[in-house]
Amino acid sequence: MSGFFKSSIGRKVAMALSAFFLMFFLLQHLAINILSVISPDTFNEVSHFMGTNPVVQFALQPILIFAVVFHFVMGFILDIKNRKSNGAKYAKNNGAANSTWFSRNMVLSGITILAFIVLHFIDFWFPEINTKFIQGDWSGTMPGVEGYRYHEELVHKFLHPARVAAYVVAFVFLGLHLAHGFTSAFQSVGAASLRKKLENVGKAYAIIVPLGFIFIALFHHLNH
Protein backbone atom coordinates (compact mmCIF):
# COMPACT_ATOMS: atom_id res chain seq x y z
CA MET A 1 0.00 0.00 0.00
CA SER A 2 2.84 2.41 0.83
CA GLY A 3 4.33 1.71 -2.59
CA PHE A 4 1.01 2.63 -4.19
CA PHE A 5 1.08 6.10 -2.63
CA LYS A 6 4.74 6.56 -3.54
CA SER A 7 4.03 6.21 -7.26
CA SER A 8 2.78 9.13 -9.32
CA ILE A 9 -0.12 7.10 -10.71
CA GLY A 10 -1.07 5.83 -7.26
CA ARG A 11 -1.20 9.34 -5.83
CA LYS A 12 -3.35 10.57 -8.72
CA VAL A 13 -5.76 7.65 -8.40
CA ALA A 14 -6.04 8.25 -4.64
CA MET A 15 -6.64 11.94 -5.32
CA ALA A 16 -9.35 11.08 -7.86
CA LEU A 17 -11.11 8.65 -5.52
CA SER A 18 -11.26 11.25 -2.77
CA ALA A 19 -12.60 13.73 -5.36
CA PHE A 20 -15.41 11.33 -6.33
CA PHE A 21 -16.40 10.91 -2.71
CA LEU A 22 -16.41 14.67 -2.08
CA MET A 23 -18.38 15.39 -5.26
CA PHE A 24 -21.01 12.89 -4.15
CA PHE A 25 -21.10 14.56 -0.73
CA LEU A 26 -21.61 17.97 -2.35
CA LEU A 27 -24.67 16.67 -4.19
CA GLN A 28 -26.08 15.17 -1.01
CA HIS A 29 -25.32 18.35 0.95
CA LEU A 30 -27.00 20.51 -1.70
CA ALA A 31 -30.06 18.24 -1.80
CA ILE A 32 -30.54 18.63 1.96
CA ASN A 33 -29.84 22.36 2.07
CA ILE A 34 -32.18 23.19 -0.81
CA LEU A 35 -34.95 21.84 1.43
CA SER A 36 -34.41 24.91 3.62
CA VAL A 37 -35.86 26.93 0.75
CA ILE A 38 -38.57 24.50 -0.34
CA SER A 39 -39.79 23.18 3.03
CA PRO A 40 -38.20 24.38 6.30
CA ASP A 41 -40.03 21.67 8.28
CA THR A 42 -38.67 18.93 6.04
CA PHE A 43 -35.21 20.49 6.23
CA ASN A 44 -35.41 20.41 10.01
CA GLU A 45 -36.52 16.77 10.06
CA VAL A 46 -33.80 15.63 7.68
CA SER A 47 -31.14 17.69 9.45
CA HIS A 48 -32.14 16.22 12.81
CA PHE A 49 -31.97 12.70 11.39
CA MET A 50 -28.51 13.31 9.90
CA GLY A 51 -27.35 15.05 13.07
CA THR A 52 -28.41 12.28 15.44
CA ASN A 53 -28.06 9.11 13.36
CA PRO A 54 -25.14 7.12 14.85
CA VAL A 55 -24.01 5.78 11.48
CA VAL A 56 -23.77 9.30 10.06
CA GLN A 57 -22.16 10.79 13.18
CA PHE A 58 -19.68 8.08 14.12
CA ALA A 59 -18.90 6.40 10.79
CA LEU A 60 -19.64 8.63 7.80
CA GLN A 61 -18.66 11.94 9.40
CA PRO A 62 -15.12 10.83 10.30
CA ILE A 63 -14.74 9.41 6.78
CA LEU A 64 -15.83 12.76 5.32
CA ILE A 65 -13.36 14.71 7.44
CA PHE A 66 -10.59 12.30 6.49
CA ALA A 67 -11.51 12.64 2.79
CA VAL A 68 -11.38 16.45 2.97
CA VAL A 69 -8.00 16.48 4.70
CA PHE A 70 -6.63 13.73 2.45
CA HIS A 71 -7.79 15.48 -0.74
CA PHE A 72 -6.12 18.76 0.10
CA VAL A 73 -2.92 17.22 1.47
CA MET A 74 -2.61 14.94 -1.57
CA GLY A 75 -3.26 17.91 -3.85
CA PHE A 76 -0.38 19.84 -2.30
CA ILE A 77 1.88 16.78 -2.49
CA LEU A 78 1.08 16.23 -6.17
CA ASP A 79 1.74 19.87 -6.96
CA ILE A 80 5.09 19.85 -5.15
CA LYS A 81 6.17 16.54 -6.71
CA ASN A 82 5.35 17.68 -10.23
CA ARG A 83 7.04 21.04 -9.75
CA LYS A 84 10.19 19.23 -8.68
CA SER A 85 10.07 16.62 -11.44
CA ASN A 86 9.44 18.75 -14.50
CA GLY A 87 8.31 22.16 -13.39
CA ALA A 88 4.72 21.42 -14.41
CA LYS A 89 1.78 21.44 -12.04
CA TYR A 90 -0.43 18.39 -11.50
CA ALA A 91 -3.36 20.09 -13.22
CA LYS A 92 -1.22 20.69 -16.27
CA ASN A 93 -1.24 17.01 -17.19
CA ASN A 94 -4.48 17.38 -19.12
CA GLY A 95 -3.10 18.96 -22.27
CA ALA A 96 -5.20 21.49 -24.14
CA ALA A 97 -8.01 21.20 -21.62
CA ASN A 98 -5.75 22.91 -19.08
CA SER A 99 -5.09 26.10 -20.99
CA THR A 100 -6.98 28.30 -18.54
CA TRP A 101 -5.28 30.00 -15.62
CA PHE A 102 -7.44 28.18 -13.07
CA SER A 103 -6.72 24.74 -14.49
CA ARG A 104 -2.99 25.48 -14.19
CA ASN A 105 -3.40 26.68 -10.62
CA MET A 106 -5.69 24.18 -8.97
CA VAL A 107 -3.77 24.50 -5.70
CA LEU A 108 -4.58 28.20 -5.46
CA SER A 109 -8.30 27.62 -5.92
CA GLY A 110 -7.97 24.72 -3.49
CA ILE A 111 -6.47 27.02 -0.84
CA THR A 112 -9.41 29.41 -1.29
CA ILE A 113 -11.86 26.54 -0.85
CA LEU A 114 -9.93 25.30 2.19
CA ALA A 115 -10.25 28.76 3.77
CA PHE A 116 -14.00 28.60 3.11
CA ILE A 117 -14.23 25.14 4.71
CA VAL A 118 -12.62 26.59 7.84
CA LEU A 119 -15.26 29.36 7.85
CA HIS A 120 -18.01 26.80 7.27
CA PHE A 121 -16.75 24.69 10.18
CA ILE A 122 -16.70 27.77 12.43
CA ASP A 123 -20.24 28.69 11.37
CA PHE A 124 -21.87 25.27 11.56
CA TRP A 125 -19.76 22.26 12.48
CA PHE A 126 -17.95 23.53 15.59
CA PRO A 127 -21.17 24.87 17.20
CA GLU A 128 -22.87 21.55 16.42
CA ILE A 129 -20.03 19.58 18.01
CA ASN A 130 -20.18 21.86 21.06
CA THR A 131 -23.95 21.45 21.39
CA LYS A 132 -24.03 17.68 21.04
CA PHE A 133 -20.75 16.39 22.44
CA ILE A 134 -19.80 19.03 25.02
CA GLN A 135 -23.20 20.25 26.23
CA GLY A 136 -24.75 16.83 25.61
CA ASP A 137 -27.85 18.27 23.93
CA TRP A 138 -29.06 16.01 21.11
CA SER A 139 -32.63 17.30 21.14
CA GLY A 140 -32.21 19.57 18.11
CA THR A 141 -34.16 22.35 19.82
CA MET A 142 -33.31 25.75 21.23
CA PRO A 143 -35.10 28.18 23.58
CA GLY A 144 -37.51 30.53 21.83
CA VAL A 145 -37.66 28.49 18.61
CA GLU A 146 -40.63 26.30 17.79
CA GLY A 147 -39.66 22.88 16.49
CA TYR A 148 -36.08 22.02 15.55
CA ARG A 149 -33.41 24.71 15.50
CA TYR A 150 -31.61 23.91 12.24
CA HIS A 151 -33.50 26.21 9.87
CA GLU A 152 -33.33 29.08 12.34
CA GLU A 153 -29.57 28.65 12.71
CA LEU A 154 -29.07 28.48 8.94
CA VAL A 155 -31.05 31.66 8.30
CA HIS A 156 -29.22 33.46 11.11
CA LYS A 157 -25.83 32.75 9.53
CA PHE A 158 -26.82 34.49 6.32
CA LEU A 159 -28.01 37.76 7.87
CA HIS A 160 -24.68 39.59 7.52
CA PRO A 161 -23.80 40.73 3.96
CA ALA A 162 -20.06 40.13 4.47
CA ARG A 163 -20.59 36.47 5.34
CA VAL A 164 -22.92 36.00 2.36
CA ALA A 165 -20.33 37.63 0.08
CA ALA A 166 -17.64 35.28 1.43
CA TYR A 167 -19.85 32.27 0.70
CA VAL A 168 -20.64 33.49 -2.82
CA VAL A 169 -16.97 34.07 -3.66
CA ALA A 170 -16.02 30.67 -2.22
CA PHE A 171 -18.65 28.87 -4.30
CA VAL A 172 -17.47 30.66 -7.45
CA PHE A 173 -13.98 29.30 -6.76
CA LEU A 174 -15.49 25.90 -6.05
CA GLY A 175 -17.13 25.96 -9.47
CA LEU A 176 -13.86 26.86 -11.15
CA HIS A 177 -12.10 24.11 -9.22
CA LEU A 178 -14.75 21.56 -10.19
CA ALA A 179 -14.71 22.64 -13.85
CA HIS A 180 -11.27 21.09 -14.18
CA GLY A 181 -11.33 18.59 -11.33
CA PHE A 182 -14.38 16.66 -12.55
CA THR A 183 -12.88 15.44 -15.83
CA SER A 184 -9.38 15.26 -14.37
CA ALA A 185 -10.55 12.79 -11.72
CA PHE A 186 -12.01 10.46 -14.35
CA GLN A 187 -8.84 10.71 -16.43
CA SER A 188 -6.74 9.79 -13.40
CA VAL A 189 -8.63 6.50 -12.97
CA GLY A 190 -8.18 5.53 -16.62
CA ALA A 191 -11.38 6.92 -18.13
CA ALA A 192 -9.66 9.36 -20.48
CA SER A 193 -11.58 7.87 -23.42
CA LEU A 194 -14.77 9.23 -21.87
CA ARG A 195 -13.36 12.72 -21.56
CA LYS A 196 -15.44 14.29 -24.31
CA LYS A 197 -18.65 12.76 -22.98
CA LEU A 198 -17.83 13.78 -19.44
CA GLU A 199 -16.93 17.37 -20.28
CA ASN A 200 -20.54 18.49 -20.60
CA VAL A 201 -21.54 16.58 -17.47
CA GLY A 202 -18.60 18.12 -15.62
CA LYS A 203 -19.47 21.62 -16.79
CA ALA A 204 -23.09 21.17 -15.72
CA TYR A 205 -22.01 19.86 -12.31
CA ALA A 206 -19.48 22.69 -11.85
CA ILE A 207 -22.18 25.27 -12.61
CA ILE A 208 -25.33 23.80 -11.02
CA VAL A 209 -23.89 22.73 -7.67
CA PRO A 210 -22.13 26.03 -6.77
CA LEU A 211 -25.08 28.05 -8.10
CA GLY A 212 -27.39 26.00 -5.93
CA PHE A 213 -25.44 26.87 -2.79
CA ILE A 214 -25.20 30.53 -3.86
CA PHE A 215 -28.96 30.61 -4.38
CA ILE A 216 -29.55 29.22 -0.88
CA ALA A 217 -27.29 31.84 0.74
CA LEU A 218 -28.85 34.73 -1.20
CA PHE A 219 -32.39 33.46 -0.65
CA HIS A 220 -32.04 33.38 3.13
CA HIS A 221 -30.20 36.71 3.18
CA LEU A 222 -32.89 38.46 1.16
CA ASN A 223 -35.83 36.81 2.89
CA HIS A 224 -34.90 37.03 6.55
Is residue 211 scored above 90 in pLDDT?
Answer: yes
The per-residue pLDDT for range 110-128, each reduced to its tens digit, is: 888 889 999 999 999 999 9
Looking at residue 109, its pLDDT comes to 80
Quick one: which of 192, 184, 214 has its CA closest to 20? 184
Distance CA 56, CA 60 (A): 5
| Domain map (residue ranges) of the chain | 2-222
Is residue 172 scored above 70 in pLDDT?
Answer: yes
Domain made up of 2-222: CATH architecture: Up-down Bundle (1.20)
Quick one: which of 210, 128, 215, 216 has its CA closest to 170? 210
Looking at residue 96, its pLDDT comes to 46
The whole-number average pLDDT for the span 57-63 is: 95
The whole-number average pLDDT for the span 158-174 is: 94
pTM higher than 0.75 for the full model? Answer: yes
